[in-house]
Structure 1
Amino acid sequence: MVKIRQKRCIITLLPLLGILLLLFGIFQTKIVQDGNLASTSKSILKTLQFAVKVNDERVMLLEPMRDESKLVKVVPVDTLHSQIHVHIQDDHSNGSLLSSEGLLAIKEVSLLRSNTLDKSSKTALIAQHKLDNPTDTFRFQAVNPALHTTPEHSKIQILIVTNRRSGSSFLGQFFNQHPDVFFQFEPLKLTEWKQEFYPDGIEYLRHLLKCQFDKTPYLVEFYNREPLHRASSKVMNDFPLCNLTESLPKKSRYKVRCPPLETLPLIQTCQKKQHQTIKLIRLYSIASLEPIALDHDINLKIIHLVRDPRATYISRSRIPGANVSSVLGKSLDAGISYLCRRINRNLDFIRSQPAWLQGKYKLVRYEDIANNPKKLAQEIYKFTGLGQLPQEVLKWIQSNTQKSAIKPNMQPGESHYSTTRNASQVPEAWRYEVPLKVVLRMQEFCRETLRYLGYREVRTTKELLDKNRSLVAQLKTS
């Protein structure tokens, strides 16, 4: 009889327990509207977490912090684990979003006093979403590191590694013109501007390749204050980040008339693109990329762009204010020797054939690109895994490698960082701009570099000026 009474008591209490749990769940549910956290007691704020739908593909996980809401994660809908339910309670849908992977990208920013989310961005947040058991989310991620051991092979991250004045702006257009590539122009310059924030440039580069711009302090400010760097990225000057550049006159090429970039839209745009490419002239050691190459979340491809160091150096000396001398003396010796030592250091490392670099590295000479851009573009796309050249890239190559696309002499006010090239003019034009004695001196410091990269030396003025004799030989290594 006692057992029967106990069972009846338990059965009677079950509905009451259910009501209590429901009420607890209601009090634990908090709605975030138009990017703002609704008011509540500070005691509850310490324990609540929230989810806000950004669009059909992305959800933001939130946790309150003091009187503001602190955005802790930006999560693709299709990367939520199947055991984690994001309940949708807006006017258009009611259900759960489920998937089978871990969480991505951590971000910290105040939604209420945010420079990252402007008013329109906040309003765009469809805000009536709640995350059940958010602590399980973080525990799941922590105890399952295997979630991040499989790379997302469909996404390719490409680094163009080279030296200044080696044709990287031209090569970069092979990727910048691709409609599904997020292209960045020399973001490592920020590490010189804000050295205290970036003691480790490789970790910064890793964040860039993962679209984790929330972890890169001052990156948005950098692009907003450096018009060349923003203007050189097509995606940063197109919708949705900008739709105002079409009417710009050519003389205003670097006067970007776009709204200032903001972090969240930049992250969203980067994540929506299928691939990434970053052009680097400030990465001195390819060996330093090993941690990135071994990151299972990054499908890295390295294009090592080289150019005849004699041509590179002479090109630098033609830039006003560059303080590069093409006159015999200590300045010439120091400049050309440093350039070739830097190239040799990377070539020596490549010759050691590190295991982690296999299948991830390709050496490309600028002269080969300039002489046959379409062929080299196809080879580079095959190496990177991007497939066939899209029409946008083919059209750009066609329109920017014609004789009419480049002027014999640069006019005042024109950029020294032009992306247009003429194969018949550019690759070996330096030969007719410098005396033999300077060339001979450069060759003394760069003999090993020239030999390895397949560039012929000259001994006489006749050889230097002979238009029928190319100084670019067949490249034995690729």
Structure 2
Amino acid sequence: MKYATSFAVIIIAGIGTILLTNTLYQNSFSANSIVDRFPQPPHKIARMRTLVNKKYEINNTGEYILSTPRKSDFRPVTLDANSSTEKQMNSKVYKGIHILATGRSGSSFLGKILANSERVFYLYEPGRLIDLYRPSNESAITKSTKQLQRYGHIINSLYHCRFENMEPYLNSMRQRVNYRQQLCDIQSLLGHPCDNDKDPSGISPKLYNTIETKLTGLHEQCENKEFIVIKSIRIFDILNLSQLFNDSEIDFKILHLIRDPRGMTLSKLKAWAPDVIKKMKAEDRSVFDVQDLPSDWYSGLDDWCKAWIKDASIGQQMVSKYMAVRYEDISMMPLMTTREIYDRLGLGEVSEHVVNWLNEHTKESRGDEYSVSRNSMLNAENWRRDMTYMLAKQIQDMENCGKFLDTFGYIKVKRPQDLTNSSLSLSGQKH
């Protein structure tokens, strides 16, 4: 009888162990499913998955706790110069800021606001050189997953002040006959416009060297600055930057630039639709109408509105790692908004140099469609003057662009008179 009782206890204990193991396995699977499906901030996902998959045991109060590690769980670690652990111990933490933007949204102007800080090393559109000097059989970044992944690796390197991944593109400049243009391309990477009509002596002396010395010069300049800022219009999905949030060597933040899709569309038409401009001139028209918007732009515009809403939704969960700023707020209140950006990103006080630059570049419009010198107060809603009511209505009636306007506080036009009513701001309240 004694043996029978002991045997029964063993059987019951065994069944209990099996049921408990199965329950823990199911809980782990369920938690992983929640991590994968619930929209968590990218920098938390890896840690959450790690915690979910840890081994658990039950303490005497019935709570799940992490199991005590055993000696067999540890393995000897050998540090060498190339190990990630050694790099983490010896390397500094870079402060990276990424301007997440799209074309004709005012990103060059915003980039210059940050670039004028003495604490910032600024890179203007590194993807432009990749697209410009890519092999003829490869697609542009925005049209190729492979190129986008490659661009992601390059951006990661640039936030570590490493330019070796850019070398194939920088060196390919030597294949061009116009050496002056090569220097201009390097200078534009650092956010400095270059006039091809000027004598080469007008180009920055630091950059007027052979192509081979550029990498060293860029690295030294980068290492001597506290912040690394990259402006790019070639990344539309904030999740494509998630690896940077998980990099222990980078204190990474995103500055998300928002612009009214009505104003952005008009800016794109003026800069990117020469056939439309030519047709309007032939018809003696200066105001853009519905028929002037290329048919393939409709779906692209609505997709962009959808993507920006999603990116903002994800970004807002990142709290201190994310800031959204509207182009209209920068334009109408440049100094106040600049101070808010500097404070939020940790750039400190806005220097007198930055204030002077703002005063010089926001009072009057100079240059072409790509100039960063504008009468910013007027430019914020200039589109109202050059767009018909029907075109404005067509844009705001798109499913996602309508949601975009509501989400970011813009005002929809309800009648033609709204466009000409100067007392009505269509930018709404500061977001």
Q: Give the alignment's TM-score, normalised by structure 2.
A: 0.66
SS at match of 1:389: coil
CA gap 1:177/1:232 in 2 versus in 1, 3 angstroms = farther
Q: Within 5 A, what are the aligned runs for 1:63-142?
A: 140-142=80-82
Between the two structures, name the one with larger relative contact order (CA 8 Å, sep ≥ 6).
Answer: 2
Report which stretch shifted further, 345-354 or 375-384: 345-354
SS at match of 1:266: helix
- Residue 370 (str. 1) matches residue 331 (str. 2): yes
Output the CA distance in 2 between the equivalents of 1:440 and 1:144: 54
Partner of 2:374: 421
Deviations 1:25-58 (A, max 9, x none): xxxxxxxxxxxxxxxxxxxxxxxxxxxxxxxxxx
CA gap 1:398/1:290 in 2 versus in 1, 3 angstroms = same
Deviation at 1:416, TM superposition (A): 2.0
CA gap 1:333/1:235 in 2 versus in 1, 3 angstroms = closer
Output the CA distance in 2 between the equivalents of 1:149 and 1:259: 37
Mapped contact 2:79–2:86 kept (Cα < 8 A)? no
Deviations 1:123-157 (A, max 9, x none): xxxxxxxxxxxxxxx9523556165179845x421
Report which stretch shifted further, 330-339 or 227-236: 227-236
Output the CA distance in 2 between the equivalents of 1:369 and 1:428: 12
Deviation at 1:337, TM superposition (A): 3.5
Out of 244, 248, 254, the residue aligned to residue 292 of structure 1 is 244
Output the CA distance in 2 between the equivalents of 1:395 and 1:306: 25
Report which stretch shifted further, 269-278 or 298-307: 269-278
CA gap 1:416/1:330 in 2 versus in 1, 3 angstroms = closer
Out of 197, 203, 216, the residue aligned to residue 153 of structure 2 is 203
Mapped contact 1:160–1:303 kept (Cα < 8 A)? yes
Output the amino acid matched with 1:283: I
Partner of 1:458: 413
More helix per residue: 1 or 2?
A: 2
Output the amino acid matched with 2:310: D
CA gap 1:330/1:319 in 2 versus in 1, 3 angstroms = closer
Mapped contact 1:176–1:233 kept (Cα < 8 A)? no
CA gap 1:232/1:395 in 2 versus in 1, 3 angstroms = farther
Deviation at 1:309, TM superposition (A): 0.5
Mapped contact 2:96–2:250 kept (Cα < 8 A)? yes
Output the CA distance in 2 between the equivalents of 1:220 and 1:164: 24
Q: Within 5 A, what are the aligned runs for 1:169-318?
A: 169-193=108-132, 194=134, 198=147, 199-221=149-171, 225=181, 230-232=186-188, 256=203, 258-260=207-209, 261=211, 262-318=214-270
CA gap 1:331/1:439 in 2 versus in 1, 3 angstroms = closer
Deviations 1:168-214 (A, max 9, x none): 11111112211231111111123334266955221111011111102
Deviations 1:296-328 (A, max 9, x none): 111111110011110001011112655678542
SS at match of 2:126: coil
Output the CA distance in 2 between the equivalents of 1:398 and 1:436: 33
SS at match of 1:375: helix
Out of 293, 303, 307, the residue aligned to residue 341 of structure 1 is 303
CA gap 1:143/1:264 in 2 versus in 1, 3 angstroms = closer
Mapped contact 1:151–1:298 kept (Cα < 8 A)? no
More strand per residue: 1 or 2?
A: 1
SS at match of 1:459: coil
Deviation at 1:329, TM superposition (A): 4.2
Out of 331, 339, 350, the residue aligned to residue 312 of structure 2 is 350
CA gap 1:235/1:347 in 2 versus in 1, 3 angstroms = closer
Q: Within 5 A, what are the aligned runs for 1:443-454?
A: 443-445=396-398, 446-454=401-409
Deviations 1:37-81 (A, max 9, x none): xxxxxxxxxxxxxxxxxxxxxxxxxxxxxxxxxxxxxxxxxxxxx
Mapped contact 1:436–1:461 kept (Cα < 8 A)? yes
Partner of 2:386: 433
Mapped contact 2:331–2:380 kept (Cα < 8 A)? yes
SS at match of 2:325: strand
Output the CA distance in 1 between the equivalents of 2:153 and 2:376: 38
Output the CA distance in 2 between the equivalents of 1:148 and 1:169: 33
CA gap 1:439/1:148 in 2 versus in 1, 3 angstroms = same
Output the amino acid matched with 1:191: I
Mapped contact 1:151–1:299 kept (Cα < 8 A)? no
Partner of 1:394: 355
Partner of 2:424: 469
Mapped contact 1:313–1:336 kept (Cα < 8 A)? no
Mapped contact 1:300–1:360 kept (Cα < 8 A)? yes
Output the CA distance in 1 between the equivalents of 2:276 and 2:130: 23
SS at match of 2:221: helix
Deviation at 1:333, TM superposition (A): 4.6
Partner of 1:406: 365
Deviation at 1:252, TM superposition (A): 8.2
Mapped contact 2:384–2:419 kept (Cα < 8 A)? yes
Output the CA distance in 1 between the equivalents of 2:423 and 2:185: 39
Q: Which blocks of at least 5 consecutive residues in structure 1 are unaligned?
A: 1-137, 238-244, 408-413
Deviation at 1:358, TM superposition (A): 3.4
Partner of 1:145: 85
Output the amino acid matched with 1:167: G
SS at match of 1:319: helix
CA gap 1:390/1:281 in 2 versus in 1, 3 angstroms = same
Output the CA distance in 2 between the equivalents of 1:234 and 1:174: 14
Mapped contact 1:170–1:421 kept (Cα < 8 A)? no
Output the CA distance in 2 between the equivalents of 1:349 and 1:235: 26
Output the CA distance in 2 between the equivalents of 1:295 and 1:322: 43
CA gap 1:455/1:333 in 2 versus in 1, 3 angstroms = farther
- Residue 168 (str. 1) matches residue 107 (str. 2): yes
Identical pairs, percent: 25
Output the amino acid matched with 1:345: A
Output the amino acid matched with 2:323: K
Deviation at 1:464, TM superposition (A): 1.1
Over aligned residues, Cα RMSD in angstroms?
Answer: 3.3
Deviation at 1:359, TM superposition (A): 1.7
CA gap 1:207/1:457 in 2 versus in 1, 3 angstroms = same
CA gap 1:149/1:416 in 2 versus in 1, 3 angstroms = farther
Partner of 1:380: 341
Mapped contact 2:120–2:226 kept (Cα < 8 A)? yes
